[in-house]
């Protein structure tokens, strides 16, 4: 009816509601409609546009239409199916990681009650060997009653480090079990909870591995195509220090089309690490925090990448000497987290430059970079 009355194609505007809007969005887009997805923050901002307290579908639809009418909403680009699939997998991987952290913390809480000094034997209690020992012998009493050959065999089989190492671990485990035997709270309830948490940790570890395998399979399948899309971008991103395949896949999946960003500042804002603005009249705030209005997952991966760039390797070499020096200078008169935020912004600028030029990352000092830009300007 609207098409006939006004001779124009109607525009459909949907509020982003988790996964609920996706089916309708894809159906309407495939049917040729112009579809826009509205950020809930934008929608919430006009909830008090009228003084009456009204909340119903009709009033909400009217508010969404007003937002579109005021030109605050842009048409949402339909993501490529492969990119959309990659995004779902990456987000699921990190969600599983969050759940895994929860169960690991619960497992540590129970281990501390059952056998506090277990970490003296296995520093990583989430390793395959440690979990196998805890699952089979969950208390000091059961460790002391265990058959020596059976327990050593279990340690050797799961660790794959040989008989001598396994025997040494067995002897240390027995020693620690004797020390903590009288202090252990190894009641049936704690032992049951211990086994449940071990099971959950194993399940989530396996689930994360399966998701990671699926991500690698998608990238591999794309690389074998005559005109690959994902693999070249992944390779470019992986050329940046601190970025691996998973981080590169996450950045690609969340950003999608890098050409949609005309400047580094726009990409910085999409990451949500741009500074908030607090200004009124002659007052201008100076203690402004990150806006955090962009992708939460992008901030997460760029944060870990920044950490990797300001650390030293085991041999003492710096992962990124330039950013390391930049970070150290910032730390002189800035808090460490503020300095790290500056490194995050630098990294996003690097990502923008790499994707704009379609060239792998090259480590240059600020002086070398200035000289390169000067030479380019002289040639031009």
Which of 115-119, 227-231, 259-263, 367-371 has the weakest average pLDDT? 367-371
pLDDT for the residue 79: 64
260-289 pLDDT tens trace: 889 999 999 989 988 877 777 777 766 778
pLDDT tens per residue across span 288-307: 787 887 889 999 999 999 99
pLDDT at 372 over 60: yes
pLDDT at residue 3 tops 90: no
All CATH 1.10.287 domain ranges in the chain, comma separated? 83-211
**pLDDT at res. 96:** 97
Sign of CA dihedral 353, 354, 359, 363: positive
pLDDT at 250 over 80: yes
Model pLDDT for residues 148-167, shown as the tens digit of each residue: 999 999 999 999 999 999 99
CA distance 368 to 214: 41
Q: Which CATH architecture has domain 83-211?
A: Orthogonal Bundle (1.10)
Give yes or no for a contact between 190 and 71, defined as CB atoms under 8 angstroms apart.
no
pLDDT value at position 160? 92
Q: Quick one: pLDDT band at residue 15, thresholds 50, 70, 90?
A: confident
CA torsion sign for 205, 206, 207, 208 is positive
User: What are the backbone dihedrals phi and psi of residue 362, each rounded to the nearest 5 degrees, phi first?
Assistant: -125, 125
Place of tokens 């903590």: 180
pLDDT of res. 7: 73
- Cα 260 to Cα 262: distance, rounded to the nearest angstrom: 6
* pLDDT reading at 245 higher than 60: yes
Dig out the tokens for 124 from the structure: 């990583």
The answer to whether residue 378 scores a pLDDT higher than 80 is: no
- pLDDT for the residue numbered 214: 96
- Long-range contacts from 223-230, C-beta under 8 angstroms, 24+ separation: 229/80, 229/82, 230/82, 230/83, 230/86
Model confidence over 212-225: pLDDT tens digits? 999 999 999 989 88
- Residues 309-324 have a mean pLDDT of 88
Asked whether residue 324 carries a pLDDT value surpassing 80, the answer given is yes
Predicted local confidence at residue 279, as pLDDT? 73
Q: How far apart are CA 166 and CA 171, in angstroms?
A: 9
Q: Per residue in 106-146, pLDDT tens?
A: 999 999 999 999 999 999 999 999 999 999 999 999 999 99
pLDDT tens digits along 166-199: 999 999 999 999 999 999 999 999 999 999 999 9
8 Å CB contact between 267 and 352: yes
Q: How far is CA 12 from CA 62, 64, 206, 260, in A?
A: 12, 10, 41, 22
DSSP-based helix, strand, coil % in the chain, nearest 5: 65, 5, 30
What pLDDT is recorded for position 74?
60
**DSSP 3-state of 226:** coil
Altogether, the residues listed in the chain come to a count of 380
Long-range contacts of 94-98 (CB under 8 A, 24+ apart): 94/250, 94/297, 94/300, 96/204, 96/207, 96/208, 96/211, 97/208
**Alpha carbons 307 and 301: distance in angstroms, whole number:** 10
3-class secondary structure, 224: coil
How confident is the model over 42-95, as pLDDT tens digits? 777 677 677 677 777 787 787 777 777 776 666 556 567 888 899 999 999 999
The answer to whether the predicted template modeling score (pTM) of the entire model surpasses 0.75 is: yes
Q: How far apart are CA 122 and CA 214, in angstroms?
A: 31
- What's the rounded mean pLDDT across residues 305-332? 91
83's enclosing H/E stretch is helix 81-115
């Amino acid at each position: 009816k609207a098409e006939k009355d006004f001779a124009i194609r109607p525009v459909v505007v949907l509020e982003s509601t988790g996964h609920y809007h996706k089916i309708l969005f894809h159906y309407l887009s495939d049917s040729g409609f112009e579809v826009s997805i509205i950020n809930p923050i934008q929608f919430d901002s006009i909830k008090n546009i009228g003084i009456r307290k009204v909340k119903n579908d009709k009033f909400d639809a009217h508010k969404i239409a007003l937002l579109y009418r005021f030109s605050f909403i842009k048409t949402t680009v339909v993501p490529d199916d492969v990119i959309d699939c990659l995004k779902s997998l990456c987000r699921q991987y990190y969600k599983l990681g969050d759940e895994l952290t929860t169960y690991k913390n619960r497992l540590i809480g129970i281990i501390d009650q059952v056998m506090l000094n277990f970490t003296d034997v296995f520093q990583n209690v989430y390793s395959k060997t440690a979990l196998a020992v805890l699952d089979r012998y969950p208390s000091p009493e059961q460790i002391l009653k265990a058959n020596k050959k059976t327990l050593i065999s279990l340690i050797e089989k799961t660790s794959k480090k040989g008989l001598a190492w396994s025997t040494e671990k067995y002897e240390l485990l027995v020693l620690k079990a004797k020390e903590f035997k009288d202090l252990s709270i190894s009641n049936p309830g704690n032992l049951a909870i211990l086994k449940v948490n071990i099971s959950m940790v194993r399940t989530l570890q396996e689930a994360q591995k399966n998701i990671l395998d699926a991500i690698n399979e998608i990238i591999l399948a794309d690389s074998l195509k005559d005109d690959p899309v994902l693999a070249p971008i992944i390779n470019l991103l992986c050329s940046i220090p601190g970025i691996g395949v998973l981080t590169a896949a996450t950045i690609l999946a969340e950003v999608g089309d890098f050409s949609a960003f005309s400047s580094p500042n726009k990409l910085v804002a999409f990451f949500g690490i741009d500074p908030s603005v607090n200004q009124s009249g002659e007052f201008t705030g100076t203690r402004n925090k990150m806006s955090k209005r962009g992708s939460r997952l992008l901030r997460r991966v760029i944060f870990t990448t920044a950490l990797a760039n300001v650390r030293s390797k085991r041999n003492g070499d710096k992962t990124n000497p330039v950013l390391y020096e930049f970070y150290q200078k910032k730390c002189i008169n800035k808090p460490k987290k503020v300095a790290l935020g500056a490194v995050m912004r630098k990294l996003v600028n690097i990502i923008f430059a790499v994707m704009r030029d379609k060239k792998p990352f090259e480590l240059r000092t600020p002086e070398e970079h200035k000289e390169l830009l000067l030479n380019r300007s002289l040639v031009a």
